[in-house]
Structure 1
Amino acid sequence: MDTIILGGGLMGTASAFFLAKGGARVTLIERARIGAGATVASFGNIRRTGRYLPQLPLAHRSRALWGELSRLLGQEVEFRATGHLRLAFDEGGLEDMRTFAQEARPWGLTLEELDAGEIRRRFPGIGPDAIGASFSPEDGSGNPRLIGPAFAQAAARQGVRIVEGAEVGAVTTAAGGGFTVETSAGRFEADTLLNCAGAWGARLAALFGEPVPLEARGPQMAVTEPLPYRILPVVGIWTRNKRYGAYLRQVERGNVVFGGAVDRVPVDLDPGHAHVDPSRTGDQLAAVLRLVPALRGVSVIRHWSGCEGYVEDNLPVLGPSRTTPGLFHAFGFCGHGFQLGPGVGAVMADLILHGGTETPIADFRIHRFAA
């Protein structure tokens, strides 16, 4: 079976790897550079806490794969299971935390509830004013700059053809089945087509009569100067107030990566460049200091953003086309796809190679937008 994948981010490269591992002949086409879009803009959070509950089976499968990636890919992607700590500073946050924890348990996710004293003992200096927290000890983080290229290199070793810097033109179906993709790097043909085009994914779906309400937006991320390595878990917050919604993690080199607490900005898909507004960093830092007050006075050394696809219902599009045999979709992960990436790749390989998957994904089918 020949498969063309459009999009060389985490979803596309992971799918290419697992498809090739299953025996498919794969061509992956990327308009820019591998992993240079939404993937590299990611915070790097590997969390299951707070997810849409029917997404947890996919998240569990993906978390298991994260633990195997250094072996599967033959290189380090800096996955660290340091835990995910999510703080509550008020009764509303505490109520939301407990509700999620109770509802997530039948879905296979058990969270530890920490009271104020336990937070101080186990995580000194983090959330000194928090009244409670949830802790997911097996979650953590990975390096967004490493993961896409690592999957792509491992896929290439299994025979995947990777074409970078190729602008996609016409995408058509043949009378007897199959697809033709015209690009600036030439024409490509295959039996199946996998749409991993991220924020551009809705454009491709629309060509086949499958409109998806999707907007392109850019997050605002930043990183500090190197500091002594003290913050082991990824740190977030249970809050109903968006301006408090910061999150952070410290890498082993000492830098603290942070984001959240400000709105994501609209991005024009042509050319798809997301821009950072440094004047908003002060609002982010104010929220970050609530999580770790000792960061007051640190220097921010870099900002960045990226073009992400946000679907109207805040859920991804994942699965086969409803209109076109041989067409599959995996896009629109709404800023929370990093943790899911390896699992998405494995699921898409299941669907394309075997016609189905044991991982439930019905809530993410493109059928939900049909008239």
Structure 2
Amino acid sequence: MDVIVLGGGLMGTASAFFLARRGARVTLIERNRIGTGATIASFGNIRRTGRYLPQMPLAHRSRALWGQAQELLGRDVEFRATGHIRLIFDHDSLADMRAFQGAARPWGLEIDELTPPEIRRRFPGLGPGAIAASFSPHDGSGNPRLIAPAFAEAATRLGVRIVEETEVDIRHGDGGFTVETREGQIGAERLLNCAGAWGGRIAEHFGEPVPITAFGPQMGVTEPLPHRILPVVGIWTREKNGSAYLRQVERGNIVFGGGAERVPVALDPGHARIDPVRTPVQMRALLRLVPALANVAVIRTWSGCEGYVQDMLPVMGASATTPGLFHAFGFCGHGFQLGPGVGDAIAELITTGTCETPLDDFRIDRFAA
């Protein structure tokens, strides 16, 4: 079986790798360079707390694969199961957390509630004004700059052909799919759309419009500091711009995001620019989590291009209009943790016609009406 994968981010490279492991002959095509779209803009959060609950089986499948990543890929992608803490500063948010905690338990996710003394004892310096926190001990983070290239390299060792820096022209006929690239014409029986924010264009080409909009996150990193913060740190809040998050890498720098509205992105050329006016708002939100950051220097900021579907759920599964076409795009800024699981699940679906992980909620035909 021949498969063309469109998109060289985490979803596309993971799919190519797992397809090749299942014996498919794969060509991956990327319009820019591997891992330079939404993946490189990601915070690197590997969390299951707060997810849409029917997505939990996919999140569990992916978390297991993150734990095997070094063995699977032959290199360290800096996956660290340091835990994920979300601080709570008001009683409405505490009620939200407890409701999620109870609802998530039947889906196999155990979350601990921490009291203020427990927060101070286990995580000194975090959220001194917090009235509680949730803690998921088996989640953590990975390095967004390493993961897609690692999957791509491992896929290449399995025989996957990778074509970068090319636009495509796609046609479909009785013999399958034909894609014109700068390296010539490529044909395959199956086509997998992992094009991220551009995935909607490909779906529409096949008569399946999806309400998707591109936005870029406001990301930044500080100067190196003594390593004190072990878990990924976030917040439970209903405030529109209150959902700040951060993590400290082993080199000491603190990577952060949230706390400010995402910036709109035009798909051509598809490069978001940070709005410097929003950075002070973002920093004020971060200081609520770690007040000691008040005098720390921010050394770099960046953004990317993420696809946000109207209902905030991804598009995954077989096309409803075109035999042999499959989709995995529109992960709404929440896809990093899911990436390995998406690749494994979609490879299973393409090669066997079924998938042990439920994907029905993510069907593209949910927009057909």
Distance 2:133 2:202 in 1: 42
**Aligned match of 1:101:** 101
Size of the alignment, in residue pairs? 369
**Aligned match of 2:6:** 6
Distance 2:184 2:262 in 1: 36
- Partner amino acid for 1:352? I
Q: How far 1:185 sits from its partner (Å)?
A: 2.7
Structure 2 counterparts to residues 28-107 of structure 1, below 5 A: 28-107=28-107
**Aligned match of 1:225:** 223
- Partner amino acid for 1:321? S
Q: Is the 8 A contact 1:127 1:292 kept in 2?
A: yes
**Aligned match of 1:111:** 111
Q: Is the 8 A contact 2:4 2:29 kept in 1?
A: yes
Distance 2:299 2:164 in 1: 30
Q: Percent identity?
A: 73
**Aligned match of 2:290:** 292
Q: Which runs of 5+ in 2 are unaligned?
A: none
Distance 2:136 2:200 in 1: 34
C-alpha distance after superposition, 1:140-197 (max 9, x if no partner) = 00000000000000000000000111111x21112x2310011233211000000000
Q: Is the 8 A contact 2:260 2:278 kept in 1?
A: yes
Q: Structure 1 runs of 4+ off > 4 angstroms?
A: none
Q: How far 1:244 sits from its partner (Å)?
A: 1.9
- Partner amino acid for 2:327? H
Distance 2:262 2:131 in 1: 29
**Aligned match of 1:320:** 318
Q: How far 1:279 sits from its partner (Å)?
A: 2.3
Distance 2:143 2:158 in 1: 23
- Partner amino acid for 1:317? V
Q: Which runs of 5+ in 1 are unaligned?
A: none
Distance 1:350 1:185 in 2: 29
Structure 2 counterparts to residues 1-371 of structure 1, below 5 A: 1-168=1-168, 170-174=169-173, 176-371=174-369
Q: Look up the SS of the partner of 1:242 in the other structure.
A: coil
C-alpha distance after superposition, 1:202-250 (max 9, x if no partner) = 0000011100000011111000000000000000000011222100000
Q: Is the 8 A contact 2:47 2:84 kept in 1?
A: yes
Across the aligned residues of Structure 1 and Structure 2, the Cα RMSD in angstroms comes to 0.6
- Partner amino acid for 1:330? A
**TM-score, L = length of structure 2:** 0.99
Distance 1:19 1:340 in 2: 17
- Partner amino acid for 2:97? M
- Partner amino acid for 2:325? L
C-alpha distance after superposition, 1:48-106 (max 9, x if no partner) = 00000000000000000000000000001000000000010000110111000000000
Q: Look up the SS of the partner of 2:295 in the other structure.
A: coil
Q: Is the 8 A contact 1:17 1:151 kept in 2?
A: yes
Distance 1:134 1:361 in 2: 28
Q: Look up the SS of the partner of 1:261 in the other structure.
A: coil
Q: Is the 8 A contact 2:263 2:275 kept in 1?
A: no
